[in-house]
Each structure stands twice: as structure tokens, then as C-alpha cells.
Amino acid sequence: MSYQKKAKKIKRKVDSAIAHVKSSFNNTLVTITTLEGDVLISMSAGRMGFKGSRKGTPFAATQIATTLHRDMAPFGIKNMEINLQGPGSGRESVVRAFQSAGINITVLRDVTPLPHNGCRPPKKRRV
């Protein structure tokens, strides 16, 4: 068998992207996708090296956003839509960090799932 040359990986040029931010009380996850939904890069506070309760802090979320901005440079992303999900404290920090990095934010969307009627409540407490 002869040696076959590996195909060169193509770096995509994307003008605008969507940032999906899932912020819980324990962690913050940020995923950058194209407008079609293809994942480009993702990052979480645990992957950054934060452990325990520090993962859910606004500082960890800011560090995630600055790292992602550095990783987004080869893609050429200028405009960004942000989908925010969850009740955590890292939501606003991610938005502020992307703005200070020089990315133009076009849409801020809150996609937190809300129950229409919710779960059945627990039975009445008897003392």
C-alpha cells in the first residue's frame, strides 16, 4: 500500500455566529455555532480549570468568553447572536465579555424553558 496524503483541513470563514450560553448555578457552558447550527467551538468552566463552586461564578464566565474570543479569531466572526438559558450568574458576564472584546452583538435572546403548568405539587404536610 502506498502512502496517501491526508486531505488538508479547511478553516471556515464565518461572518456571524450564534453563542448558546447555558448558565446553571453550578456551571456555565458556552457553545459557538454557525447560523445553520454547526458547532464551531465550545467551552465550559470545568474545562477552563475551575473546580467546585467556582465554576458557577461570573468570573469563570468572563474567562470562558475571553478564551472563546481568542479561539474565534481564525473564523473571522464579527457579529454574534446570543441565546441565554438558565438562571445562573454567568449570563450577563458572558455578554459583557464579548462586547468588550469587540464583537458586535445583534440579538440577545432568552431561551430558558418555562413550565406551562409545571410538575404536580407535593402532597399536603401532616403534622
Domain ranges of the chain: 16-32+50-110
Q: Percentage of the chain with pLDDT > 90?
A: 80
What are the C-alpha distances in Å from 93 to residues 46, 83, 105? 17, 13, 14
Fold annotation for 16-32+50-110: Nucleotidyltransferase; domain 5 (3.30.420)
pLDDT (tens digit per residue) in 53-69: 999 999 999 999 999 99
- What pLDDT does 1 receive? 61
CA gap 18, 93 in Å, rounded? 17
The arithmetic mean of pLDDT across residues 65-84, rounded, is 94
